[in-house]
Every structure is written in structure tokens, then in C-alpha cells.
Amino acid sequence: GAEGNIGKILKPAEARIRFVGSRQGDVVAMPKFLRVITGDAKSFTNGDANANASWSCSGFEDRQVTDKYPLCPDGSQVLRT
């Protein structure tokens, strides 16, 4: 399509969810069946103003991209932050 998505879908090896914020109160469990949507899945074609996710490769976390998926070298994993 116009967004340039080609290739095959890869299943994630693992997922880590971390809350980072200021101490306003105790952290509590998320509500059951909570769904979260963030950013713009079509940011490549719509512009990156609403692109909240960034991508990098393990071992190269100082290099972040928001407009495409990185091609990581052998032994490195794709990271979504």
C-alpha cells in the first residue's frame, strides 16, 4: 500500500510493559479487558505528528526511528518503545 508495508508479519518474542511517571499515588492493576490505542498506524503517509511509537534494534537503542521499521543485524532484535 501507500504506507510501504511489505514482507511478512513477525510474532514478538516477548513483551515488556513499564509505567514511567511521577509519584501521584500507588500503582494499581490495570482494569480487566483494558485496550490501549496510541499514535497513528499510518504515520508514514499522514506525517509523524501523532507517531508515539518508536523503533530500534537491541544493542542500538540510541538510534530511534518513528517512520519505519528498522532492519536489524543478525543477533539483534527489533524493539518498539
Long-range contacts of 10-16 (CB under 8 A, 24+ apart): 10/78, 13/77
Query: What digits encode the pLDDT tens for the residues 39-75?
Result: 666 666 666 666 667 888 999 988 888 777 888 899 9
Please give the average per-residue pLDDT across 4-19, as a whole number: 75
pLDDT of 2 strictly over 70? no
Note whether residue 17 is domain-resident.
no
pLDDT number for residue 59: 92
Please give the average per-residue pLDDT across 7-28, as a whole number: 76
Calpha distance 74→15 (Å, rounded): 20
Note whether residue 67 is domain-resident.
yes
Note whether residue 29 is domain-resident.
no
State the pTM of this model: 0.47
Is 16:39 a contact under the CB 8 Å cutoff? no
Note whether residue 22 is domain-resident.
no
Contacts with 19 (C-beta within 8 Å, 6 or more apart), sequence order: 27
